[in-house]
Amino acid sequence: MSRFVHPAGDRHAEMLPHERPPLAPADLNRINPAIWPRTSTRTDGTLTVGGVDVRELAREHGTPLYVLDEDDVRSRMRDYATAFAGSEVHYAGKAFLCREIVRWLDDEGLGLDVASGGELAVALSVGFPPERITMHGNNKSVAELTRALEVGVGHVVVDSYEEIARLGHLAQELGKRPKVMIRVTTGVEAHTHEFIATAHDDQKFGLSLNTGAAAEAVRRILALPQLELVGLHSHIGSQIVDTAGFEVAARRLTALLVQIKEEHGVVLPELDLGGGYGIAYVEGDEAPDIKELADGLREIVTKVCTDAGLPVPRLTVEPGRTIVGPGGITLYSVGTVKDVEGLRTYVSIDGGMSDNVRTALYGAEYTAALVSRESTAEPMLSRLVGKHCESGDIIVRDFHLPADLAPGDLVAVAATGAYCRSLASNYNYLPRPAVVAVSGGKSRVIVQGETEDDLLRGQL
Ligand SMILES: Cc1ncc(COP(=O)(O)O)c(C=O)c1O
Ligand SMILES: N[C@@H](CCCC[NH3+])C(=O)O
């Protein structure tokens, strides 16, 4: 039987649900501020986010509904800007990107990472300054690179020898000299789910430090005068809570900077240390402290460079999940409640793996609660499932809801701001839900929900 794996290490993996500590009805009403959006409050069992009662949100916008606490997200952007003052913070748009998020980034003075031409188009469509954009991807097309060069993105992070040649060719053709970084595979073992670990050699991203591919990439880029090699990049994976891996990667990347100076006499002025910092999804999860992380990384890079007589490079970090994840919740309406005698109760909601595939994909864990009324009923062991034709269509695998849960009740899943809407699909022709931003007692749609017309568009 496969083991249920949580990206952050599943502390309940070996524990059967009935072996876990007993819960009281009051436990089900608790809103842990480390997991729910910063402005969440709970009165008489009803959840309010950004000053808006979730029942009102469901009435006005329907369910399923992604709700984003604007103050939470903006405050996290500011926390990063403060912690990494003097460095660059580039939000990783893959976590969740839409025009409104780009406006918030611009307001808060952050940069942006894009991983495709589509993400680039979203940013450019609202006039985000291209020089604050970094272009990523392990297989950027000629069209994507051409657009990036034409608009003048700040950096292109190259990921393969082919890409170096392709970019060199295009830069020459277009008469451009892009700033380039090399994505270095540092060999760090990231403690996270296999699918989102990216620093070991046997995966598709980057050029390996161990095999010498990174050093060869340096030689190839330096041989092309139309490319300006400005730095090195590392991203070791995602949802990582143990900060040791980031520090090892920073040390190895900085050592390569020193080696490049020794071999080529070239001092690269920039280091991009990627993102990947974890957030709390369930009780007991611990998220790294951003300020401590920033101080630790700066200290390592400064020490290695100073010891080697190198100027300290400008640092960039690329957080995604930690900026938008905790401020998002998904609201669902309960449709059916099915008790499977002696096992558990299956609570089916009106969305599922099409709006949150993370449980099916990574065995992710979530916190969820009844949020539309007070209940003093006993906790019942539940599994929150979607409406798709897959038995793996699970949102929350094992948790407790009050035993009087009934169709029409609203259930919210916490910490869904990252990698839920951005990974959403139309499986079974379900329309993707709207995203509403809430702040100061008001809600506004920032991404429209899809309609049946949207689903039929493009069908011949
Ligand atoms: C290159 C790069 N930078 C940044 C990120 C952002 O990661 P996270 O959302 O885990 O902070 C990712 C995704 O893991 C990535 O691939
Ligand atoms: N999609 C992953 C994160 C991938 C990060 C992309 N580099 C998740 O939901 O955890």
- Residue pLDDT, tens place only, 223-281: 999 999 999 999 999 999 989 999 999 999 999 999 999 999 999 999 999 999 999 99
What are the residue ranges of helices labelled H in 43-160?
A: 54-61, 70-83, 99-108, 117-125, 142-151
CA of 94 from ligand 2 middle (Å) equals 8
The more confidently predicted of residues 30 and 449 is: 449
332 is in an annotated binding site: no
198: left (phi over 0), alpha (psi -120 to 50) or beta: alpha
247 is in an annotated binding site: no
Provide the pLDDT confidence category of residue 17 given band limits of 50, 70 and 90: low
Question: Average pLDDT in the 128-156 region?
Answer: 98
* Domain residue limits, the chain: 17-69+326-456, 71-322
CA of 334 from ligand 2 middle (Å) equals 28
**CA separation for the pair 99, 104 (Å, rounded):** 9
CA of 197 from ligand 1 middle (Å) equals 10
Mutation choice for ligand 1 from 135, 136, 204, 238, CB with most ligand atoms inside 8 A: 238
Q: Look up the pTM and report it.
A: 0.94
Closest CA to 368 of 341, 408, 397, 389: 397
The DSSP-derived string for 342-411 is: TTEEEEEES--TTT--HHHHH-----EEE-BS---SPEEEEEEE-SSS-TT-EEEEEEEEETT--TT-EE
pLDDT value of residue 431: 98
| Closest CA to ligand 2's atom 8 | 419
Mutation choice for ligand 1 from 318, 361, 416, 422, CB with most ligand atoms inside 8 A: 318
Cα end-to-end span (Å), the chain: 44
For this structure, is 420 an active site residue? no
Closest CA to 95 of 196, 5, 179, 200: 196
Output the ligand 1 site: residues, CB below 6 A: 92, 94-95, 113, 136, 235, 238, 274-277, 318-322, 418
CA of 318 from ligand 1 middle (Å) equals 6
**Same fold across 17-69+326-456 and 71-322:** no
Closest CA to 123 of 163, 79, 93: 93
Ligand nearest to the CA of 318: 1
- Residue pLDDT, tens place only, 434-458: 999 999 999 999 999 999 999 999 9
pLDDT value of residue 203: 83
321 is in an annotated binding site: yes
Buried b (16+ CB within 10 A) or exposed e, 160-199: beebbebbbebbeeeebebbbbbbbbbbbebbbbeebbbb
Query: Ligand 2 pocket, 136 CB below 6 A?
Result: no
Ligand nearest to the CA of 419: 2
Q: What is the CA radius of gyration of the chain?
A: 23
Ligand nearest to the CA of 246: 1
Query: Ligand 2 pocket, 183 CB below 6 A?
Result: no
Query: Ligand 2 pocket, 359 CB below 6 A?
Result: no
CB 54 within 8 A of CB 48: yes
Cα four-point dihedral sign 127, 129, 133, 139: positive
Q: What share of the chain has pLDDT > 90, as a percent?
A: 88
pLDDT value of residue 164: 98
Report whether CATH 3.20.20.70 matches the domain 17-69+326-456. Answer: no
421 is in an annotated binding site: no
277 is in an annotated binding site: no
Q: Does position 397 have pLDDT exceeding 90, yes or no?
A: yes
Show the tokens assigned to 69: 């606490």
Out of 98, 305, 389, 420, which one is annotated catalytic?
A: 389
Ligand nearest to the CA of 279: 1
DSSP classification of residue 269 = -
Q: Does position 3 have pLDDT exceeding 80, yes or no?
A: no
Phi, psi of 183 (to 5 degrees): -80, 115
Question: Average pLDDT in the 140-161 region?
Answer: 98
Query: Ligand 2 pocket, 238 CB below 6 A?
Result: yes
**CA separation for the pair 146, 255 (Å, rounded):** 32
Provide the pLDDT confidence category of residue 191 given band limits of 50, 70 and 90: confident
pLDDT value of residue 396: 97
- Residue pLDDT, tens place only, 33-54: 999 999 999 998 999 999 999 9
**CA separation for the pair 187, 201 (Å, rounded):** 6
Q: Which atom of ligand 1 is nearest to the CA of 318?
A: 4
CB 354 within 8 A of CB 427: yes
Q: Which atom of ligand 2 is nearest to the CA of 423?
A: 1
pLDDT value of residue 13: 46
Provide the pLDDT confidence category of residue 9 given band limits of 50, 70 and 90: very low
pLDDT value of residue 5: 39
Show the tokens assigned to 166: 């392709």
pLDDT value of residue 358: 98
The ipTM is 0.98
CA of 239 from ligand 2 middle (Å) equals 8
H or E element, residue 4: none
The DSSP-derived string for 81-105 is: HHHTTTSEEEEEGGG---HHHHHHH
Q: Which atom of ligand 2 is nearest to the CA of 237?
A: 7
Mean pLDDT, the chain, rounded, equals 93
Helix (H, G, I), strand (E, B) or coil at 2: coil
**CA separation for the pair 435, 71 (Å, rounded):** 15
**CA separation for the pair 77, 377 (Å, rounded):** 39
Query: Ligand 2 pocket, 193 CB below 6 A?
Result: no
pLDDT value of residue 2: 29
Q: How many CA atoms lie within 13 A of 166 on its CB side?
A: 19
pLDDT value of residue 70: 98
163 is in an annotated binding site: no
276 is in an annotated binding site: yes
- Residue pLDDT, tens place only, 289-334: 999 999 999 999 999 999 999 999 999 999 999 999 999 999 999 9
pLDDT value of residue 21: 67
Token pair 């942006």: residue: 112
The matching CATH number, chosen from 1.10.3720.10, 3.20.20.10, 1.10.150.120, 1.10.30.50, for 71-322 is 3.20.20.10
Show the tokens assigned to 344: 């558990």
